[in-house]
Chain A
Amino acid sequence: MANGPLFNRALSDWMQSEGPDRDIVFSSRVRLARNLRTQPFPMLATNHQSGEVLEQVRGVMNNQQLQGIDRFQLIELKDLNELQKRVLVEKHLISPNLANEARNGAVILSENESISIMVNEEDHLRIQCLYAGFQIREAWELASRIDDIFESQLEYAFDEKRGYLTSCPTNVGTGLRASVMMHLPALVITKQINRLLPAITQVGLAVRGLYGEGSEAMGNLFQISNQITLGQSEEEILDNLYRVAKQIIAHERTARQKLLQESRDRLIDRVNRSYGILAHAHIMDSKEAAQRLSDVRLGIDLGLIQTNTTPTIMNELIVMSQPGFLQQLSGSKLSPEERDVRRAELIRSRLKSS
């Protein structure tokens, strides 16, 4: 497993596929939090109880309907080393929480890595579906189908008044967290983002940086997700997110066109400078890499850079330049300084080969 594509390839298969509005929306994700009625939530479960949950969930893997969706493998976290866990976090296949502290923690992954089901995270089950581009409804439909399959074999904690019962009060009701990862460089350059973000939060949505809660927006990537899970139906939640994301896409496109019209030379200079630095630098910290990669991605999307570098390579480099990945590829632990050199080297060679 240690050398499998799961840990050495930055791009999951699902990321290679084309999706609508991919110039702005990198990915769409839906997560459903579910629990079993008869066991305490993972936080209070004994080793024996969380082990039972894992066995019950493992039992569902033979379900024919589940096998009809894709091939799945179950990976127990105790069988992974620290670097491998970190790579899975950087690929968004597991949460930092599961990597760090889960007892009897496991993840069920589909072959193309678009479905990941965490076991014994904060809740017994966290069903997650990832799609390339803006396909939030498709992600929900698939997650809901998988949810139905698990529910047909497991007794869920569900209450008529409160809905799906979750460990954290912020997830109760639908247990649904839907999010879109958006690249918004033009709104950042034109400083409109400062007006936009508060507006987004006022309609019951949350905005976060690339690596989820608590992290700042790296490389102009923003994750927009629903905040409310109780009292709104799944359709309402998705519709709300869909409409707001559509508006943001339109704003970003307008801002890009405005930049092209009003400061074309500056923009061309900026993206090509960043390309030059990425192609030649010897030391590159993660923050600078994220910013330069964002510039080049914008340049590619607007046709301002004469290169064969594809948008997909840029997505790949964003994941690859994360600390876990760099170390996994080097086959050893690296100090931050060593990582900066390795990161620069990796980006140089990837751009050269494209």
Chain B
Amino acid sequence: MMCQECGSKPATLHFTKIVNGEKTEFHFCDSCAREKGELIPGTSNGFSIHNLLSGLLDFDPTGKGSTSSKPQHSRCEECGLTYTQFSKIGRFGCSACYQYFSDRLDPLFKRVHGNVVHVGKVPVRSGGKIKQQRELERLKRELQLRIEREEFEAAASLRDKIRDLERKIADL
């Protein structure tokens, strides 16, 4: 099917709008859909975001194709959901999907939320772990620095601290 706007490129974003029982179908190509800013969720036309999500997931926001050199998982090993299924239904199957599809999520989150990193509340229990993991990373960086400077006494004491902390995190 061709894009109803430009008529020259294949349509990749399809959705149906129903107002007072009257059904209208839309078919746009990537670039026309991008130009039609008002179709993007959160703006005035009030289209349901769920209708649009699958269109967004097929979207390549850079317009250049993927440039990531990281291997991309096409399937969540935990729940079995494939990326293709995810992009069709717009729902994750389990919390592990976030890791397996991680490389491809930033453009989606950027589009939906304008952001990709959480800055809000942290649960108390895993929050403690996160804090300690950050401390662990800091200590490891410092250890590296001491070794480079050949300050072996300080490095040894850091190594012990790191071991203690690693044990503590494992027990959490």
Binding site for B on A (CB under 8 A): 35, 37, 39-41, 43-44, 122, 144, 147-148, 151-152, 155-170, 172-174, 176, 197-198, 201-202, 204, 206-208, 213-214, 216, 227-234, 237
Contact between A44 and B94 (Cβ–Cβ < 8 Å)? yes
Decide: B125 and A207 in contact? CB cutoff 8 A: no
The residue on B at minimum CB distance from A148 is B124
Shortest 8 CB-CB contacts between residues of A and residues of B:
A231-B115, A163-B118, A157-B95, A198-B44, A230-B113, A40-B94, A44-B93, A174-B120
**What does DSSP make chain B's interface, helix, strand, loop or mixed?**
loop
Q: Which of B80, B121, B133 has the most CB of A within 10 A?
A: B121
B42 closest partner in A (C-beta) = A227
Chain A residues contacting B121 (CB-CB under 8 Å) are 144, 147, 163-164, 174, 233-234
- Residues of B near A161 (CB, < 8 A) are 116-118
A226's nearest neighbour on chain B, judged by CB, is B42
With A173-B118, A231-B119 known to touch, is A197 a contact of B42 (CB < 8 Å)? no
- Given A170-B53, A207-B46, answer yes or no on A41-B91 (Cβ-Cβ < 8 Å): yes
B residues apposed to A, CB below 8 Å: 20, 41-44, 46, 48-50, 53, 78-81, 89-95, 98-99, 105, 108-109, 112-126, 130, 133
Closest to B41 in A: A227
Query: By the criterion CB–CB under 8 Å, are A156 and B117 in contact?
Result: no
The answer to whether A204 and B42 touch (CB under 8 A), given A163-B120, A230-B113, A232-B119, is: yes
Residues of B within 8 A of A43 (CB): 89, 91, 93
State the CA gap A41–B96 with chains docked (Å). Answer: 10
28 pairs, A vs B, C-beta closer than 8 Å: A37-B95, A40-B94, A41-B95, A44-B94, A148-B124, A151-B123, A159-B95, A159-B98, A161-B118, A163-B118, A163-B120, A164-B118, A165-B92, A165-B98, A167-B92, A169-B90, A170-B112, A173-B120, A174-B118, A207-B46, A213-B48, A214-B48, A228-B42, A228-B113, A229-B113, A231-B119, A234-B120, A237-B120
